[in-house]
A = this chain, B = another copy of it.
Amino acid sequence: MSKEKQFVTEITPQAEDFSRWYIDVIKKAELMDYSPVRGCIVFRPEGYEIWEHIKEELDRRFKETGHRNAYFPLFIPESFFQKEKEHVEGFNPELPWVTEAGGEPLEERLAIRPTSETMIGHMYSKWIQSYRDLPVLINQWANVVRWEKRTLPFLRTSEFLWQEGHTAHETETEAREETMRMLGVYRSFVEDYLAIPVISGEKTPSERFAGAVDTYSIEAMMKDGRAVQAGTSHYLGNKFAVAFDIKYLDRENQLQFAHTTSWGVSTRLIGSLIMVHGDDRGLVLPPKVAPTQVIMIPIGPPKSRDAVLARVDELFGQLKQAGVRVRVDDRSDVSPGWKFNEYEMRGVPIRLELGPRDMDNGVCVLVSRVSGEKRVVNQSDLLVEIENMLEQVHREMYDKAASFRTENTFAVDTLDEMKALFEQKRGFVTAGWCGSEACEKQVKEETGATSRNIPFEPSERKAACLCCGDKAEHTVVFARAY
C-alpha cells in the first residue's frame, strides 16, 4: 500500500462511525493523547495551541468589558459544599476527595474544585462591605475536575481547563445585564473566531446550573446532528450571597445581599470546533485559532530545489514578520503529495505551493482547505492574498456550518412526529412545550433528546406542547447532546 493510500484509510469515514472518526482524527493530528489516569487526557502542543488562541482572544474581550483575572485555591473544604443545597446535590457525585496530605489524614476532606462558586463566595463575603466595593468583576483561568463516568476527549474529561467568571452586583438589574453581556461575548466569540453558528437561549429549569436562578447557554450542532453546550452564563440571584453571607451596606446604609453571576467556557470548545468543521480527510481548523494558518510546500525536481527553497524562505520571512502563523515543510524524504494529505488531515487552512515554474512567473499557488479552491497569486501581493483567503476560509466554514444546521433542524408538533423523524434523521428539533418537567422527561425517555434551550429567536413559534397538547409556554430546541 502506498503511503498516501495508507494515510487516508487510517481515518474512519464520518458516515461509517462518527465517534471513531473523531478519535482517529484527534489522535492522528496529535491534538491529544490518553493519559494513564482514567478520563484525563494530555493536551499535546497542536491541541493546546488552539486553546491558547481561544484564551488570548476571550481574555482580551473579558478585560475590555472590565473584568480582571485572579486565582483561587484548587482545594475546597467539604463544609463549603453543604452551604448551598442544590449546588451540593449537583456536584457531590462527581467530586474527587483528598483525604491525606503530608503523610497524615486530613481533619476535613478537601474536594478538588468542580467549579469555584463556593470558594469565591467565601472570599467575596470578606471583600465586599459597601456598595462602593461593587461591582466585583473577576475571572479565573483554571483546571477543574468532575469525575465523569463516561468520558470523551475534549468534550467530557475528568480534568479540563476552563475560565469561570464570578461577579457581584448591587442590583438584580445589573447582575442580569452582566449575565446577558457575557452570553453575548461568548456568542460573538464562537461565531467570529471559531466559525460556529450558535443558538442563544435560556435553559429549562431541569437543565439549570446547580444553584442558579436562571441559566443561559449557546448551543452548537455537531456534524452528527448532536448538540454541544458551548458556553453558559448564570444569574445566581441572592442564592450564593445568602449561603456565603455576601452582604453590603447600600446607598441608604441598609444591609443587602449582593446579586451574583457566573459564566464559563471550557476546552470542550476544542472538541466542538473539530466536530463542527472536520471532514473525512481530517481536521478543518478555523483560521483564527489554527496553530498553523499557512503551510508552505516547495515542489519540483531536485535540481531546482535550492533555488525554490531560497524563495520559499524569503516569502516565509515576510509572512511571519506580518504576524501570519506560517510554517515550511522542506523535508526531502517525503513527497509533496504525502505532505498535501498530511496538512489536509491536520486542518491547516491554506496550503502554499511553490515550484520552479512559479518562480519564473513570480507567482505561487494557494489552496483552501475548506473549499479546495486553487488560486494562482502574484508573490508581490502574497500577504494581502493570504489575509483575504484566511478571511474567506473563515466565512465559508461559518456558512457551511450554518447551512448544515438549517438542513438538520426540524419543527414538529407532536412527540410521535419527533420519534418518527429521529428514526430517519438526526439534528435539532424545535417544538412547543407546556413548561412541565414531566413532558420534558417523557421526550428524553422516548427519544434520547434533551431540551437544549429556549431560543431567544426561535425560527418558528409553536402553540401546543408536543407531549400533552396543552398550551405551549415556550418553543424549545431539543437534541441529543454530548
| A-to-B contact residues, CB < 8 Å | 33, 35-37, 40-45, 48-49, 51-52, 68-77, 80, 92-103, 110, 112, 119, 122-123, 126-127, 138, 142-143, 145, 147-149, 159, 161
Contacts and interface: CB of A to CB of B under 8 A. Distances in A.
A100 B99 contact: yes
Given A48-B71, A69-B45, A74-B143, A100 B110 contact: no
Main secondary structure on A side of the interface with B = mixed
B73 A35 contact: yes
A341 B123 CA distance: 26
B138 A45 contact: yes
Contact of A69 (B37, B49, B69, B126): B49
A97 B98 contact: yes
B98 A102 contact: no
User: Which has the most chain B C-beta neighbours within 10 Å: A76, A95, A101, A127?
Assistant: A101
A49 B68 contact: yes
Given A69-B52, A98-B98, A159 B74 contact: yes
Nearest to A52: B69
A236 B267 CA distance: 32
Contacts of A103: 92-93
Given A33-B126, A70-B45, A94 B102 contact: yes
B40 A75 contact: yes
Most chain B beta-carbon contacts within 10 A, residue among A41, A76, A92, A123: A123
- Listed residue (A42, A52, A93) with the most chain B CB atoms within 10 angstroms of its CB: A42
Contacts of A70: 42-45, 48
A76 B38 CA distance: 11
A72 B122 contact: no
A445 to B, nearest CB: 24
Given A42-B123, A45-B138, A138-B45, A72 B35 contact: yes
A101 B45 CA distance: 29
A145 B99 contact: no
Contacts of A138: 45
5 contacts: A42-B73, A52-B69, A93-B102, A93-B103, A143-B143
